[in-house]
Amino acid sequence: MTFTRMFVRLGACLHRLPKRNAQPPALWPPGITRDPCAASRTQHTASHSKSCLWQLREDYFELSVSGLLMRFDYVWLRDHCRSASCYNMKTNQRNLDTATVELGIRPSNIRVDEETLFLTWPDGHVTRFNLAWLVQNSYEGQKQRAVQPRILWNSEIYNKAKVPTISCGGFMTSDEELKKFLKTFLLYGIAFVEDVPPTLEATETVAQRVSLIRETMYGRVWNFTSDFSRGDTAYTKLALDRHTDTSYFQEPCGIQVFHCLRHEGTGGRTLLVDGFHGADKVLKEAPGNFELLSRVPIKHEYIENVGAHHNHMIGVGPVLNVYPWNNELYMIRYNNYDRAVINTVPHDTVQRWYVAHRALTTELRKPENELWVKLKPGKVLFIDNWRVLHGRKSFTGLRQLCGCYLTRDDVLNTARSLGLQA
């Protein structure tokens, strides 16, 4: 819908504004919609059309566009001015020094036409806001927006989903194929690329099509086997229960890439579990448990002294990481092997935390939530390490797994540049 159509009834009238201490009228008095001109005639503080109303309040500016009521702080309005002197449209960076804005600032004049809000500030500077931009960028508008589209899955949902197969050739050469791959990855938190040559170099090339490789103390692109060359159970033949990796980093690695180059033996199947699906079940069944897991900070730790490798990593944060403004889950940090001593909360909280952690673990361990796959040479698996847990069955024989971690920002960057919501 265009704003031109929505604002045809709005007059471009200039209002003289009352003094700062003047009592503002009650919010949208009942008569205001029946007599479109009354408020502006009597108060000189408000204007409106069928779909747009505004009021200059004592402490904030109130704007309603197509039924969405928004409230803007005056300093915010000055701070977000997109005029050439305040904002560099070429670099998309703020020029205005926010510290020079008087904290009690209020506009001296306000005018709204079909699609623009004009604010004149006491020093004469004029700020123009496109109304659609305000809707998109206001707190209230953001809250209305859908969270990141995801399909939470158990094995049945995933297997029935008919996830598209992505082949290496198309993936490397066609942006459409890359987009298809990333769309799948964003929806499910896992995605495969098939027909990749079973080499470390080819795996690296495929990984770099999506993002930047995140080098860690394990190296850039690793190729590991059960030789205990490093001080971690991953470098053995033992089974590994579901977990996320690098929980001991302040920012755990965003994506994990696995490519099994060789396995002459039995076992070693890979387990995948959608952590967000499990967390969602906890939220629905016992919101108090979800809240505890999202509020209580705990530590994860990696201590290694093997050969020349000396590492001590510590990451602090809750198991469930949610955006504070809308409670949307964005990262799960779940690794019972690497979880460190709990010393960040008192005993009564510890007790409730164990109950909540058990509820999540019970959910994550339900057989119907387990997706088992056998990694084979040629099939590269990308795992969203902020969402999907992985594990493996114990195995026999020579098994060689190569892969790398990717930076999450750059995966999302690639996705956005292809027009995906990320």
Ligand X SMILES: C[N+](C)(C)CCCC[C@H](N)C(=O)O
Among 315, 390, 404, 411, binds ligand AKG (CB under 6 A): 390
Nearest to 32 by CA among 9, 53, 7: 53
Give CA 87 to chain center in angstroms: 26
Report the half-sphere exposure of 170 (CA within 13 A, side-chain side): 13
Instruction: Write the DSSP assignment of 61-95 as a string of letters.
Output: EEEEETTEEEEEEHHHHHHT--STTTEETTTTEE-
Structure token pair of residue 15: 């209002």
Structure token pair of residue 84: 């050439």
| 323-342 footprint of ligand AKG as x/- string (CB under 6 A) | --------------------
Q: Which is nearer to ligand X, 127 or 246 (CB)?
A: 246
* Binding span for Fe ion by CB under 5 A among 105-113, 245-253, 295-303, 409-417: 245-253
Q: Which is nearer to ligand X, 78 or 243 (CB)?
A: 243
3-state secondary structure of 155: helix
CB 234 to ligand X: min, Å: 4
Among 39, 168, 207, 232, binds ligand X (CB under 6 A): 232
**Does position 240 bind ligand AKG by CB under 6 A?**
yes
Report the length, in residues, of the chain.
422
From the list ligand AKG, Fe ion, ligand X, none, partner contacted by residue 232 (C-beta under 5 to 8 A by kind): ligand X
CB 309 to ligand AKG: min, Å: 15
Nearest to 166 by CA among 378, 387, 401: 378
CB 381 to ligand X: min, Å: 12
**Does position 363 bind ligand X by CB under 6 A?**
no
d(CA 48, CA 28): 10
**Does position 384 bind Fe ion by CB under 5 A?**
no
Structure token pair of residue 5: 């159509």
Whether 337 and 233 have beta carbons less than 8 Å apart is answered as yes
Q: Which is nearer to ligand AKG, 38 or 234 (CB)?
A: 234
Within 78-117, the residues that bind ligand X by CB under 6 A are none
Q: What are phi and psi of 261, to 5 degrees?
A: -85, -20
**Does position 222 bind ligand X by CB under 6 A?**
yes
Give the interface with ligand AKG as residue ranges (CB under 6 A): 234, 240, 245, 270, 390, 392, 401
